[in-house]
Amino acid sequence: MKTLRNVMIATFGLLIGLLILAIFLIVRDAQPEPEPQPVADTNVVAPTAAAQLPAATNTPVIVGELPTITPFPTDIPTETPIPTDTPVPTETPVPTDTPVPTNPPPPPPTAVPPTNTPLPPTETPAPAGPAPVNANGLFGRSFVLQDWRTSTSPGGQIWYEWNVGNSSGGGVPYSTLGVMPRRNGVDEVQWYQNNWGGNNDVMPTEGLSWPSWMSIPEAGDYTLRVVVCFDGFDTCLNGGGTFHTLSQEIPISIR
């Protein structure tokens, strides 16, 4: 910038000098030249060298005043520097090797898919009871509880009514006919309720219908069904005979 300033000052100075020279030449050329004087016809004695006048000099006459030259200021304001581009920050390189901690945490446990293991039942279901059969022509027509007068407390009266038919076409002798309680798949013979038997009983051809009641002294879940035994009255009551099922089972809870 300092060199540029010096060059500009020198250029302006040269231009001013040329301007002054041009004005001078114009003024000089504009002044009229002296007209020649006529020579007399008389013989004029040539003047001596001492009497000769000095020759007229062509002294230039400056018309007007020259303009005052204003010097350039020494301090020329510098140009506002153009801001350079702000460098874009470079991205921090990602470290290639991740440091391994000295004590790494244990890996998460591997999830084990659940198996289809059935849940154990809260209570063991009672085995299915025996299906009704036709025993020597005897079969069950109906078996119901009389809920309106039945007590389900231990030792309470459990009222029921059954109807047994006879398909043999004649009388059928039997040892005992009654209702058997069953708990957890086992007949409770000690609480069996005999309704007919012990007197050489014979089932008539039209069958038999009978209402009655029984009691169970222990609390629990039971089923009741109509049965018949043909192996002797005492043998059947002592558990030595075979009880044939004539009706469906009715569940009952003693509490």
Sketch the domain layout of the chain as residue ranges.
138-254
Lowest-confidence region among 5-14, 148-157, 183-192, 238-247: 5-14
The rounded percent of the chain whose pLDDT value lies above 70 is 60
Report pLDDT for 59: 45
Residue-by-residue DSSP string for the chain: -HHHHHHHHHHHHHHHHHHHHHHHHHHHHHSPPPPPPPPPSS-PPPPPTTTPPPPPP------SPPPPPPPPPS-PPPPPPPPPPPPPPPPPPPPSSPPPPSSPPPPPPPPPPPP-PPPPPSSPPPPPPPPP--BTTEEEEEEEE-GGG---STT--EEEEEEEEE-SSS-EE-SEEEEEEEETTEE-GGG-EEEEESS--EE-TT-EEEEEEE---S-EEEEEEEEEE-S-HHHHHTT-S-EEE-S--EEEEE-
| Average pLDDT value over all residues in the chain | 77
pLDDT at 44 over 80: no
**138-254: CATH superfamily:** abc- transporter (atp binding component) like domain (2.70.50.60)
Report pLDDT for 39: 44
Report pLDDT for 50: 37
More confident residue, 34 or 247: 247
β-pair type (220-229, 250-254): antiparallel
More confident residue, 74 or 235: 235
pLDDT grade for 121, boundaries at 50, 70 and 90: low
Report pLDDT for 53: 41
Report pLDDT for 95: 52
pLDDT digits (tens, 9 = 90+) for 126-145: 567 899 999 999 999 999 99
In this structure, are residues 223 and 181 in contact, taking their beta carbons and an 8 Å threshold? yes
pLDDT at 20 over 80: yes
Report pLDDT for 109: 59
pLDDT at 32 over 90: no
Report pLDDT for 6: 75
What's the rounded mean pLDDT across residues 202-217? 97
In angstroms, the Cα distances linking 21 to 26, 66, 120, 190, 255 are: 9, 11, 129, 160, 146
pLDDT at 4 over 80: no
